[in-house]
Amino acid sequence: MNTLKPAAAGLWPRLAAALPISLAGALLFERLGLPVPWLLGPMFAALVGSNLLKTRYAWPSPIRNGALIVIGYTIGLALTGQALRAMGSQVPYMILMTFLLLLLCAGIAYVIGRLSGTDFKTSLLGSVPGGLSQIVVLAEETKGVDLTLVTVNQVVRLLLIVVSIPLLIYSPLFGEQAGAAAQAAVRADASWSGLFPQALVYAPLCVILALLGQKVRFPTAFLLCPAFGTALLQATGFQAPELPHALTAAAQLALGTYVGTLLKPAQMQHKVRTLSLCLLSGLMLIAGSFGLTVLLTKLQPVAPATALLSLAPGGMDQMGVIAHSIGAELSTVTGYQLFRTFFIFFAIPPLLRMLFRYTDRRERKGDI
């Protein structure tokens, strides 16, 4: 007798179709020598495969969550006492750069709104560099916002940044640092036997903390809770083993595949116009981030690649993967991304609600 539920039974064939497509994308990108192949290859493959196969293709979020736990552990490895002290000295610059980035996003939203005829609420929510799910929920709660347009803007921004940032870092603008660091990381690959016995403690700890964090609605729980737990346990002197390349590559594949399934062109209206404006917004944001990168390297002794990853308005998970793969200062990247994540999670929603209430009152007064 088949004990599987119908939904679960139907999931396995779709998952079996998705996995080889993503694996083929990763191997192709690796063969072509493209940057971060185990993240970008599956992302492009999933973008194509999920839109061609549609209902015959599936990549459930629990797989993504498992990948985030692995990535969170690698971030926790970098959060040593020395790294945390260095992060503390960067707090004034984190505040400055976050403020300038959000100011840049507001300016871009105004320009895109004027070009497209979209209301400012929709343009602003589409431009805020926050978590996709968080911004979508806020858009659902805000009266008069075009939820589809906000979602498309956020997804295109995320895809554009995840693609363009590695290409920028591996470009002549940043010299040969990224390529050399990536090759050194591969040569220094950890062994599977080196995981034990410490992994028997760290693995369940990371999973339990991630689930608890999700239960209390901690922001980005599957990434941050394992990172904090690993850092705290490591601080007690209990050794945290390095992860083999195969395991981190699998995590990148799982994350890249999930990101690739987010964009559904068939569901968009005015596809060319919408995508063109989304791309313009994303390119303006990347150009602004590059300008902030130059400013940060002038203010602080930070490597350009580390500065760009710290300020890139993408997900902390994707930037963490790229930082780990090129040997950037992961603690610095994590510190800046973490600060912006918490600021956006806790401060932006109430601030935007206050702003929208104010603009609504102004509009009502104008109608009288």
Exposed, middle or buried, 342 (CB in 10 Å: 0-12/13-18/19+)? middle
- What is the four-CA torsion angle of 268, 272, 273, 274, rounded to 10 degrees? 40
How far from 330 is each of 39, 163, 173, 318, 363, CA to CA, in Å? Answer: 17, 19, 20, 12, 46
Phi, psi of 106 (to 5 degrees): -65, -40
User: Average pLDDT of the chain?
Assistant: 80
Question: What is the C-alpha to C-alpha distance for residues 250 and 319, in angstroms, rounded to an integer?
Answer: 16
Between 324 and 108, the more confident residue is 108
Q: Which pLDDT does position 342 carry in this prediction?
A: 75
Nearest to 336 by CA among 41, 11, 16, 100: 100
Exposed, middle or buried, 315 (CB in 10 Å: 0-12/13-18/19+)? buried
Q: What is the pLDDT of residues 207-255, one digit of tens each?
A: 999 999 989 888 778 888 998 999 999 989 888 898 888 898 999 899 8
Tell the residue number behind the tokens 């660091």, with chain if given.
Answer: 181
pLDDT band at 366 (very low <50, low <70, confident <90, very high): low
CB of 227 within 8 A of CB of 68?
no
Nearest to 171 by CA among 34, 327, 330: 34
- Mean pLDDT along residues 290-307: 90
Between 213 and 161, the more confident residue is 213
pLDDT winner (highest mean) among 60-74, 123-137, 251-265, 301-315: 60-74
Q: How far is CA 4 from the centre of its chain?
A: 33
pLDDT band at 33 (very low <50, low <70, confident <90, very high): confident
Between 123 and 220, the more confident residue is 123
CB of 323 within 8 A of CB of 306?
yes
CB atoms within 10 A of CB 321: 27
Question: What is the C-alpha to C-alpha distance for residues 261 and 18, in angstroms, rounded to an integer?
Answer: 10
Question: What is the C-alpha to C-alpha distance for residues 3 and 169, in angstroms, rounded to an integer?
Answer: 50
Tell the residue number behind the tokens 């002549």, with chain if given.
Answer: 172
Q: Which pLDDT does position 137 carry in this prediction?
A: 60
Nearest to 204 by CA among 230, 232, 223, 241: 230
Q: Helices 330-346 and 81-89, interaxial angle, to 10°?
A: 60
Q: What's the start-to-end Cα distance of the chain, in Å?
A: 69
Contacts for 117 with CB less than 8 Å, ≥ 6 apart = none
pLDDT band at 141 (very low <50, low <70, confident <90, very high): low
pLDDT winner (highest mean) among 39-48, 118-127, 271-280: 39-48
Contacts for 263 with CB less than 8 Å, ≥ 6 apart = 47, 51, 152, 155, 156, 159
- Mean pLDDT along residues 169-190: 60
Question: What is the C-alpha to C-alpha distance for residues 65 and 69, in angstroms, rounded to an integer?
Answer: 6
Residue 26 DSSP class: H
Give pTM, 2 decimals.
0.73
Q: Which pLDDT does position 4 carry in this prediction?
A: 45
Q: Which of 205-209, 289-293, 359-363 has the lowest mean pLDDT?
A: 359-363
